[in-house]
C-alpha cells in the first residue's frame, strides 16, 4: 500500500521554499495527506541548505528528528546539501533517497521506485549542465506567494557555494511568469514576492529583463501587492527604483546585500560593486521613497577582516540610512576561493563583531519604526494565530499585530501606527 502521509521540512532561502511548496503540491494532488514535520508521517522530505555550516547542522538535525519520530518512515533529502554532499547524506541513518537540485522534481516517481524496490540511493546530475529553468511558486499561507522567476548564479563570490549547488543563471520567461501570477491570484492570494538566486539577472538569456517583468506584473488584475526579494546593488538600476517608486503595486521595500563596509574586503569577496555604488543605490531609494524599508546583508569575520576593516563596516552602516541588517558570521565553505585564504578571524572576535552589528541593526529598526509612528498605513493580515494575536505587514514592511480575528485574514486594513508594545511591535487596536 502506498504511504498516504508525507511531511516536508524546509530550510534556506525563499527559492527553496517556493520549490518545496511546488513539489509538495504534486503529492497532495496524488492523494497524499500532508503532515507537519513535527508529526509522525510515512515519508519525510528534508529540503536542504548549505549557505552556512549552521544550515548544514540544522539539516542533519532534521534528518535525525524524522528518523526518531518514525524509524520505519522513508526519508528523502533534497536540495543544495544533497547536490554538494550526496555521499555524506546517503550514509546517515534513516536516509533512503538523496536528490540534488536537478533531480528533486522527480521525487514522486523516485519514491515510487523505492517502494517497489527498484531503486535505492541517490540520483545526481551535474548541476553545471542544468540549462533549463524549472518554475515554481508557493502557497505558504493564503495571503502571500513566493514566485520563483530565476535560478542559479554566475557571480561566483569567493565565499559562496550557491553557484556550485544551483548552476548557471537561468530564468523563466515573462509570459510564463505572468501565467503563474494569474494562477496565484486565482487562489485568492493578495501578495507576490519575486524570488530567485540572483533576480536582477532575470531574463538575460531570453532577451528580457526584470524591469519588463515588473511592468507586465503591474497589469495583472486582482494582484494587490508585489515585493522584490534580495537584489544585487549593481543590478538594481535607476529605472527599477523609479518604476517601483511610481507603482501602485510594488511595495516600498528593498533588500540589497552589502556584505562588507570595506572596499578592500568587498574586493576580496569578489563582489561586483564598490561602497560608492551601494551608497548611490540607497540614496536614490531614499530620495524617491523616503519611508521605504531598506534591508541589508552583512558578513562578519571574512578571512583577512582586520579590526580597521570591521570599524569601517560598522561606521559605514551606522551612517547609512538602511532600516535593519541581516548579520551573518562567515563560515568556511568547501571548494570556494575564500576557503584558501589563511587569514582566519578567531571565533571569539567574530562573535563580538556579530553582536555589535546585531545591536546596531536593532537600533536602526527601532529608529525606522519610530520614524513611521503616527502614520496611516495599509496592513495585509496573515492567517496565523500566535497566542491570540495575528500579524500583518504594512507597505514598507512594518510588522503590526492585532487580536486574532479570522475575518481579518487575507484582508488589507487601514491602521494608524501609534502603539508600540514591549516587544517593539506596533499594535492595532
The answer to whether the CB of 137 falls within 8 A of the CB of 146 is yes
Do both 299 and 365 map to the same domain? yes
Do both 149 and 98 map to the same domain? no
Adjacency order of strands within the sheet including 376-381: 412-416, 376-381, 389-393, 399-403, 426-427, 419-420
Do both 67 and 176 map to the same domain? no
Do both 51 and 158 map to the same domain? no
Task: Residue 187: give the domain boundaries.
Answer: 139-251
Give the integer Cα–Cα distance in Å for 55 and 80.
11
pLDDT (mean) for 371-398: 94
Give the integer Cα–Cα distance in Å for 182 and 205.
24
- pLDDT confidence bin for 16, thresholds 50/70/90: confident
319: in domain: yes
Q: What percent of the chain has pLDDT over 90?
A: 76
List CB contacts of 297: < 8 A, sequence separation 6 or more: 230, 255, 257, 258, 259, 325, 326, 328
132: in domain: no
Give the integer Cα–Cα distance in Å for 269 and 160.
9
| Nearest alpha carbon to residue 140 among 7, 20, 295, 13 | 20
Where residue 92 sits, what CATH number does that domain have? 3.40.50.12160
Q: What is the pLDDT of residue 186?
A: 93
Where residue 167 sits, what CATH number does that domain have? 3.30.750.210
134: in domain: no
Do both 89 and 77 map to the same domain? yes
130: in domain: no
Give the integer Cα–Cα distance in Å for 8 and 211.
34
Q: What is the pLDDT of residue 122?
A: 53
Do both 363 and 384 map to the same domain? no
131: in domain: no
340: in domain: yes
Do both 13 and 112 map to the same domain? yes
133: in domain: no
How would DSSP label each residue in 108-155? HHHHHHHHTTS--EEE---GGG--S---EE--SSSSEEEEE-EE--S-
**Ramachandran angles phi, psi of 294, nearest 5°:** -125, 115
pLDDT tens column, 333-364: 989 999 999 999 999 999 999 999 999 999 99
pLDDT tens column, 144-167: 999 999 999 999 999 999 998 899
Do both 330 and 225 map to the same domain? no
Give the integer Cα–Cα distance in Å for 365 and 388.
25
Do both 229 and 292 map to the same domain? no
Where residue 301 sits, what CATH number does that domain have? 3.30.750.200
- pLDDT confidence bin for 50, thresholds 50/70/90: confident
pLDDT tens column, 219-250: 999 999 999 999 999 999 999 999 999 999 99
pLDDT tens column, 84-136: 888 899 899 999 999 988 888 889 988 888 877 655 555 554 445 556 888 89
Do both 112 and 145 map to the same domain? no
114: in domain: yes
Do both 354 and 380 map to the same domain? no
Number of independent structural domains in the chain: 4
Is-above-0.85 flag for pTM? yes
Last residue of a domain, one of 336, 351, 372: 372
Do both 121 and 26 map to the same domain? yes
Using alpha carbons, list the distances in angstroms from residue 128 to 37, 47, 100, 103, 154.
Answer: 31, 20, 12, 13, 11
pLDDT tens column, 237-291: 999 999 999 999 999 999 999 999 999 999 999 999 999 999 999 999 999 999 9
Check pLDDT > 90 for residue 322: yes
Amino acid at each position: 500500500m502506498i504511504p498516504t502521509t508525507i511531511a516536508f521540512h524546509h530550510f534556506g532561502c525563499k527559492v527553496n521554499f517556493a520549490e518545496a511548496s511546488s513539489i509538495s503540491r504534486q503529492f497532495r494532488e496524488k492523494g497524499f495527506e500532508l503532515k507537519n514535520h513535527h508529526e509522525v508521517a510515512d515519508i519525510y522530505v528534508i529540503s536542504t541548505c548549505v549557505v552556512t555550516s549552521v544550515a548544514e547542522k540544522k539539516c542533519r538535525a532534521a534528518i535525525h528528528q524524522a528518523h526518531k519520530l518514525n524509524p520505519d518512515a522513508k526519508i528523502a533529502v533534497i536540495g543544495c546539501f544533497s547536490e554538494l554532499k550526496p555521499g555524506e547524506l546517503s550514509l546517515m541513518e534513516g536516509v533512503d533517497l538523496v536528490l540534488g537540485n536537478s533531480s528533486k522534481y522527480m521525487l514522486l516517481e523516485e519514491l515510487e521506485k523505492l517502494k517497489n524496490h527498484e531503486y535505492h540511493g541517490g540520483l545526481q546530475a551535474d548541476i553545471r549542465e542544468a540549462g533549463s529553468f524549472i518554475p515554481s511558486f508557493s502557497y505558504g499561507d493564503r495571503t502571500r506567494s513566493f514566485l520563483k522567476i530565476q535560478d542559479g548564479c554566475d557571480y561566483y563570490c569567493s565565499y559562496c557555494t550557491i553557484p556550485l549547488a544551483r548552476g548557471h543563471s537561468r530564468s523563466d520567461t515573462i509570459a510564463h511568469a505572468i501565467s503563474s501570477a494569474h494562477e496565484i491570484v486565482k487562489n485568492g492570494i493578495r501578495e507576490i514576492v519575486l524570488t530567485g538566486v540572483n533576480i536582477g539577472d532575470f531574463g538575460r538569456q531570453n532577451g528580457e529583463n526584470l524591469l519588463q517583468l515588473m511592468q507586465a506584473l503591474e497589469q495583472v488584475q486582482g494582484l494587490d501587492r508585489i515585493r522584490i526579494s534580495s537584489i544585487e546593488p549593481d543590478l538594481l538600476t535607476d529605472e527599477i527604483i523609479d518604476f517601483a517608486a511610481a507603482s501602485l503595486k510594488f511595495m516600498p521595500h528593498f533588500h540589497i546585500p552589502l556584505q562588507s563596509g570595506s572596499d578592500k574586503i568587498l574586493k576580496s569577496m569578489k563582489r561586483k560593486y564598490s561602497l560608492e555604488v551601494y551608497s548611490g543605490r540607497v540614496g536614490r531609494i531614499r530620495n524617491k521613497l523616503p519611508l521605504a524599508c531598506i534591508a541589508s546583508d552583512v558578513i562578519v569575520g571574512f578571512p583577512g577582516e582586520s579590526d580597521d576593516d570591521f570599524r569601517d563596516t560598522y561606521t559605514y552602516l551606522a551612517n547609512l540610512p538602511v532600516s535593519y541588517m541581516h548579520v551573518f558570521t562567515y563560515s568556511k565553505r568547501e571548494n570556494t576561493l575564500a576557503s584558501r585564504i589563511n587569514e582566519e578571524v578567531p571565533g571569539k572576535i567574530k562573535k563580538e563583531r556579530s553582536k555589535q552589528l546585531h545591536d546596531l541593526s536593532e537600533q536602526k529598526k527601532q529608529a525606522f519604526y519610530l520614524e513611521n509612528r503616527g502614520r496611516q498605513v495599509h496592513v495585509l493580515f496573515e492567517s496565523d494565530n500566535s497566542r491570540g494575536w495575528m500579524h500583518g505587514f504594512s507597505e514598507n514592511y512594518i510588522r503590526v499585530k492585532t487580536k486574532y480575528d479570522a475575518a481579518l485574514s487575507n484582508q488589507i486594513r487601514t491602521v494608524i501606527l501609534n502603539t508600540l508594545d514591549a516587544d517593539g511591535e506596533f499594535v492595532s487596536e
